[in-house]
Structure 1
Amino acid sequence: MIIEKSSTWKDNFLERLENDGPWDRFTLYQMNAEVQKSKLITEFSGLQAPKFLKDLNILDHQLEVAQTVIEEMHGKAILADEVGLGKTIEAGLVLKEYLIRGLVKKALILVPASLLKQWVDELNKKFYIPAIGYKKKVAIDQYDVVVMSMDTAKKSPHREQIIEQDYDMIIIDEAHKLKNHKTQIYEFVQSIKKKFCLLLTATPIQNDIFEIFYLVSLLKPGHLGNYEAFQTAFSAKKRSFEQEEFLKELVNKVMIRNRRNDTGFDWTSRQVETFQIDFTEEERQVYDMLCELKNISSVFSGSFSMITLQKEMCSSKEATYLTLEKMKQKVVNPEEVAYIDEIINKLAALQINAKAEKTYEIVQNAGDDKVIIFTEYRSTQAYLQWYLHTKGITSVLFNGKFSKNKKDWMQQLFKDRAQVLIATESGGEGINLQFCHHVINYDLPWNPMKLEQRIGRVHRLGQEHDVQIYNLAIKNTIEDNILNLLNDKINVFEKVVGELDDILTKRA
């Protein structure tokens, strides 16, 4: 291929010189005039961004959120809409508005790694914001809008490079991952220089009330007092109805939360069933032997190791075996080793998984409908795929070890070919599966907001069916405790943040 310099521009330029023009086009002049006018806004009310986003379908509640953030919260807010209501669109609107007004030039968006490409695509294609996804050796000081994964940003040398910058705005998606001041990512975000800050999370309280304290303190230090004052006023033992209402009022000055019922859309409903399942006699025997381990071996005396084994036994013998073998390596007493070997032999002899049988029954009753199963363990995931295959049911796996391309491929296979998607917790974020409306929570997490994230994969804009949710728990095991704790945490969330859509069967 031969590449030559073009001299056309020179000929055209000489011709314009001789004829004294034309030097410009009226269309370009008009476009430039519009840009200049947009910068000469006489009052800071109303949004300019929608005029430049004609092809983007912006919903009323999203416009209201963006306007409230800018006019009342001065660019510092927690966007806490329920899952599926478009917090990314709201944040994009706010960023676009500030860019148009010339108040933001340099912005950093921190997101979970799995959502990085989605954010870059939406900013570029929907908002015409020239964002780049951070890769190694990218000079971040040379780009105005950078999207980066949280895990990358908090580590050297990226951390130091970011702290050196003066950002006009930072946006943090899935902001509940910041947790509290003891985490590396929270401390890092706190140290970033910023004028405006948006924290996106449908679940601002996951485990306890102090999580909302730390999120609010990132935006407005002192808004909820210092930690000691907050603890004195709002800890569970000292909190009264009046204090809860006062706290909610304070939080709402920096947080916007839309529920599905607030949007004016005709949402499908949720139908929740909790099945409490009996172990088989053989499974119960193994579970009781596992519980006895804490009295037999000091290796298993720690509450964490015992709780792990109990939860795994409620999931599958495969998950239990892997942990038991790993911990067995630390045991030196021959009698203790013999007891563990006896448990392992009984595990190997188990022929029936009561919870898996209930799962198969639910999938069967769903007919040809698609079903998502959530488990906490990859070994259980592999077992369930094998088990369903023996029953003639096609399934695909989805977990955090998969590359982005493989995750995309699994989603496509689920949509086009397989009836069941078996996902670990990583399937609870960043994927949209409105073509499915059956969710089986095979393993229950300690955190109710993880249940909400899971359900939110299917119960979102575009869902045309009522969503069927099935929570499975083994009777008279640690899963009874998990159900009780989940209900207690839901109660705390609703008192401070607001009502939550059904994720568990209501207690009497």
Structure 2
Amino acid sequence: MNVEKSPNWEEEFAERLNTQQWDSWKLYKMCYDVVKTNLITEFTGLKSLKYLPNVTPLEHQLEAAQTVIERMNGKAILADEVGLGKTIEAGLILKEYLMRGLVKKALILAPASLVNQWSDELTSKFYIPAVPYRKNTSIEHTDILVMSMDSAKKSPHKEAIYAEAYDMIIIDEAHKLKNHKTKIYEFVQSLKKKFCLLLTATPIQNDVFELFNLISLLKPGHLGNFDVFQSSFKASKHDLENDEFLKELVNQVMVRNRRQDTGIEWTTRKVHNIPIEFTEKEREVYDLILQLKDISPVFSGSFSMITLQKEMCSSKEATCLTLENMMKNCNTKDEIAFVEEVIQQLMALQTNAKAEKVLEIVRSAEDKVIIFTEYRATQIFLQWFLHNNGITSVLFNGKYNKSKRDYMKYLFKEKAQVLIATEAGGEGINLQFCHHIINYDLPWNPMKLEQRIGRVHRLGQEHDVQIYNLAIADTIEQKILDLLHLKIDVFEKVVGELDDILTYKHPI
């Protein structure tokens, strides 16, 4: 395309100079006043508070927001203990950057069950027009988008998000990014982002390398590459050296408030590790299960045996389901016959020692109780067992959609004495009206215990929280207890002290 200069431009320009009004003091003054009103003259302090009548932040939340903006340049792990308001801190930071004109486009990734909650809070409390993703939502034309992690990492959403240049990414329950080999980790790593907030009360769940992965995602190279990190701190899964230096590096990118540091008067946690003895018949079946690894190669893998041992410590129902599925892979009649014998003896059991202890605790509590189990088969058994003993209960697990989860919460609050939850109940649900928790099955991960307890031990709890950790003597659960203590020790070395989730080592 050829661009030619107009031969008359000089005459036309001279004419405009003589006839057109080029300035207006009134318009200039109005423009000046608007700019002056919006001008942020200094970068210290939070300017957004006077525009947020629906939010009354606590002191630790204000300090966290200021620290992230002024010292961490908008890249931080918000690692407050469960229930201290990390969402409020993230909202304050986002609002501040929006007002300063440094953020125009933001993406919030959260568990599916929390997408609406995030959108509602940002809109109603912070006047941030956050849009929860729906099938007809235009990713390209939405400035503040709230989306589930699972949806975001899949096509075609993934490609649409990659095409955008986000000024800020906020990721709730960020411990789900602990494994650098997962698709969600690779997805977040590939996002174009200027500022990034990772929200998790549990930045270390199982080993110190999880924290390395989170920080590398947030600020690549801050801890060196993997080999440098491993050699500098002599790091293994559950041990490391130079932990004070590592903690100093971590604190440059992480804000962590503990309940005792907030100036709020909190109720206490009262933790009870409760040893349980198998009945004679239960012990016989448990020993039979241990023999399976010598009977068939199907059961020789350590994962298979550990799973069966854990299930046997939970319920015969959970154990039977696994045995029946594994038996399909047995190759000889002798192997099948032995498994069938185990199943027959399992089903003949009349007593579940752990369930009997649960019934005793529930009756003595004379109040609402949450029971956490890892198996849906155990859930159903416990509901049947409690019903037969005159105890009302409702179930709560990851298969329920949001409306059903909300209805189960309502039934528990208004009608039933007991909520029987799988791990899904340890995330994204607030139950301050209850203060008794039974950890029927112990997880390998101590932070799952913290997440469970955090459902009730949070702002608004008016009673001391009673926590009952059940473990059967001389079983896999004794090993789990020992490993939990080891993992808690690593967490406290690097991140800081953890509120009580287990009593000190207890002879089980």
Structure 2 length normalisation: TM-score?
0.92
- In structure 2, do the counterparts of structure 1 residues 403 and 238 end up closer, same or farther at CA, with 3 Å as the change threshold? closer
**Counterpart residue number, 1:9:** none
**Counterpart residue number, 2:5:** none
- In structure 2, do the counterparts of structure 1 residues 332 and 411 end up closer, same or farther at CA, with 3 Å as the change threshold? same
1:439–1:469 contact (8 Å) kept in structure 2: yes
Write the mapping of 1:386-397 to structure 2, written as runs, cut at 5 A. Answer: 386-397=384-395
**Counterpart residue number, 2:7:** none
Q: Distance in 2 between matches of 1:485 and 1:372?
A: 24
Tell me which of 395, 398, 404 is aligned to 2:396. 398
- In structure 2, do the counterparts of structure 1 residues 145 and 35 end up closer, same or farther at CA, with 3 Å as the change threshold? farther
What's the CA shift for 1:55? 2.2
1:232–1:238 contact (8 Å) kept in structure 2: no
1:156 maps to 2:120: no
User: What CA RMSD, in Å, does the superposition of the two structures yield over aligned residues?
Assistant: 1.7
Tell me which of 410, 422, 427 is aligned to 2:420. 422
Tell me which of 372, 375, 386 is aligned to 1:374. 372
**Counterpart residue number, 2:167:** 168
1:407 maps to 2:384: no
- In structure 2, do the counterparts of structure 1 residues 73 and 346 end up closer, same or farther at CA, with 3 Å as the change threshold? same
2:238–2:487 contact (8 Å) kept in structure 1: no
- In structure 2, do the counterparts of structure 1 residues 410 and 86 end up closer, same or farther at CA, with 3 Å as the change threshold? same
Q: Distance in 2 between matches of 1:289 and 1:388?
A: 28
**Counterpart residue number, 1:198:** 197
Q: Distance in 2 between matches of 1:42 and 1:58?
A: 23
What's the CA shift for 1:332? 2.2
Write the mapping of 1:101-180 to structure 2, written as runs, cut at 5 A. Answer: 101-180=100-179
**Counterpart residue number, 1:468:** 466
- In structure 2, do the counterparts of structure 1 residues 51 and 238 end up closer, same or farther at CA, with 3 Å as the change threshold? closer
What's the CA shift for 1:507? 2.0
Write the mapping of 1:263-282 to structure 2, written as runs, cut at 5 A. Answer: 263-282=262-281
Write the mapping of 1:424-439 to structure 2, written as runs, cut at 5 A. Answer: 424-439=422-437
Q: Distance in 2 between matches of 1:67 and 1:382?
A: 48
Q: Distance in 2 between matches of 1:33 and 1:281?
A: 86
Q: Distance in 1 between matches of 2:60 and 2:180?
A: 32
Amino acid at match of 1:199: L
- In structure 2, do the counterparts of structure 1 residues 248 and 125 end up closer, same or farther at CA, with 3 Å as the change threshold? same
1:384 maps to 2:367: no
- In structure 2, do the counterparts of structure 1 residues 302 and 133 end up closer, same or farther at CA, with 3 Å as the change threshold? same
What's the CA shift for 1:33? 9.3
What's the CA shift for 1:39? 2.9
Query: C-alpha offsets along residues 78-127 of structure 1, whole Å, 9 cap, x if unaligned?
Result: 00000000000000000000011111000000001111111011011111
- How many residues are treated as equivalent by the alignment? 478
What's the CA shift for 1:268? 0.4
2:482–2:505 contact (8 Å) kept in structure 1: no
Amino acid at match of 2:78: L
Amino acid at match of 2:472: I
Q: Distance in 2 between matches of 1:225 and 1:193?
A: 21
Amino acid at match of 2:290: C
**Counterpart residue number, 2:445:** 447
**Counterpart residue number, 1:489:** 487
1:249 maps to 2:238: no
- In structure 2, do the counterparts of structure 1 residues 34 and 441 end up closer, same or farther at CA, with 3 Å as the change threshold? farther
Query: Is the partner of 1:141 in helix, strand or coil?
Result: coil
**Counterpart residue number, 1:357:** 356
1:182 maps to 2:164: no
**Counterpart residue number, 2:259:** 260
- In structure 2, do the counterparts of structure 1 residues 363 and 36 end up closer, same or farther at CA, with 3 Å as the change threshold? farther
What's the CA shift for 1:139? 1.5
Query: C-alpha offsets along residues 193-217 of structure 1, whole Å, 9 cap, x if unaligned?
Result: 0000000000000010011111111
Query: Is the partner of 2:140 in helix, strand or coil?
Result: helix
1:171–1:197 contact (8 Å) kept in structure 2: yes
Percent of aligned pairs with the same residue?
A: 71
2:394–2:411 contact (8 Å) kept in structure 1: yes
1:47–1:97 contact (8 Å) kept in structure 2: yes
Instruction: Identify the range of structure 1 (131-140 vs 338-347) with the bigger mean alpha-carbon deviation.
Output: 131-140
**Counterpart residue number, 2:213:** 214
- In structure 2, do the counterparts of structure 1 residues 437 and 377 end up closer, same or farther at CA, with 3 Å as the change threshold? same
Instruction: Identify the range of structure 1 (231-240 vs 285-294) with the bigger mean alpha-carbon deviation.
Output: 231-240
1:119–1:147 contact (8 Å) kept in structure 2: yes
What's the CA shift for 1:34? 8.9
- In structure 2, do the counterparts of structure 1 residues 35 and 405 end up closer, same or farther at CA, with 3 Å as the change threshold? farther
1:38–1:101 contact (8 Å) kept in structure 2: no
Q: Distance in 1 between matches of 2:283 and 2:106?
A: 56
Q: Distance in 1 between matches of 2:33 and 2:271?
A: 53
Q: Distance in 1 between matches of 2:189 and 2:209?
A: 17
Query: Is the partner of 1:372 in helix, strand or coil?
Result: strand
1:38–1:100 contact (8 Å) kept in structure 2: no
- In structure 2, do the counterparts of structure 1 residues 302 and 75 end up closer, same or farther at CA, with 3 Å as the change threshold? same
1:502 maps to 2:500: yes
Amino acid at match of 2:128: I
Q: Distance in 1 between matches of 2:167 and 2:497?
A: 34
- In structure 2, do the counterparts of structure 1 residues 438 and 110 end up closer, same or farther at CA, with 3 Å as the change threshold? same
Amino acid at match of 1:360: L
Query: Is the partner of 1:47 in helix, strand or coil?
Result: coil
Query: C-alpha offsets along residues 271-300 of structure 1, whole Å, 9 cap, x if unaligned?
Result: 000111110111111111111100110011
- In structure 2, do the counterparts of structure 1 residues 230 and 408 end up closer, same or farther at CA, with 3 Å as the change threshold? same
Structure 2: where are the runs of 5+ without partners? 1-28
**Counterpart residue number, 1:306:** 305
Amino acid at match of 1:76: K
What's the CA shift for 1:56? 1.2
- In structure 2, do the counterparts of structure 1 residues 238 and 438 end up closer, same or farther at CA, with 3 Å as the change threshold? closer
Write the mapping of 1:44-59 to structure 2, written as runs, cut at 5 A. Answer: 44-59=43-58
What's the CA shift for 1:240? 8.9
**Counterpart residue number, 1:22:** none
Amino acid at match of 2:139: I
Q: Distance in 1 between matches of 2:155 and 2:292?
A: 42
What's the CA shift for 1:57? 1.8
Q: Distance in 2 between matches of 1:230 and 1:383?
A: 47
Query: Is the partner of 1:422 in helix, strand or coil?
Result: strand
Amino acid at match of 2:53: K
Amino acid at match of 1:105: K
Query: C-alpha offsets along residues 455-480 of structure 1, whole Å, 9 cap, x if unaligned?
Result: 00000000000000000011111001
What's the CA shift for 1:37? 4.2
- In structure 2, do the counterparts of structure 1 residues 81 and 396 end up closer, same or farther at CA, with 3 Å as the change threshold? same
Instruction: Identify the range of structure 1 (190-199 vs 126-135) with the bigger mean alpha-carbon deviation.
Output: 126-135
Query: C-alpha offsets along residues 121-147 of structure 1, whole Å, 9 cap, x if unaligned?
Result: 101111111111112242201010000
What's the CA shift for 1:234? 2.1
2:282–2:349 contact (8 Å) kept in structure 1: yes
- In structure 2, do the counterparts of structure 1 residues 239 and 122 end up closer, same or farther at CA, with 3 Å as the change threshold? closer
Q: Distance in 2 between matches of 1:240 and 1:160?
A: 40
Amino acid at match of 2:263: G
What's the CA shift for 1:336? 0.7
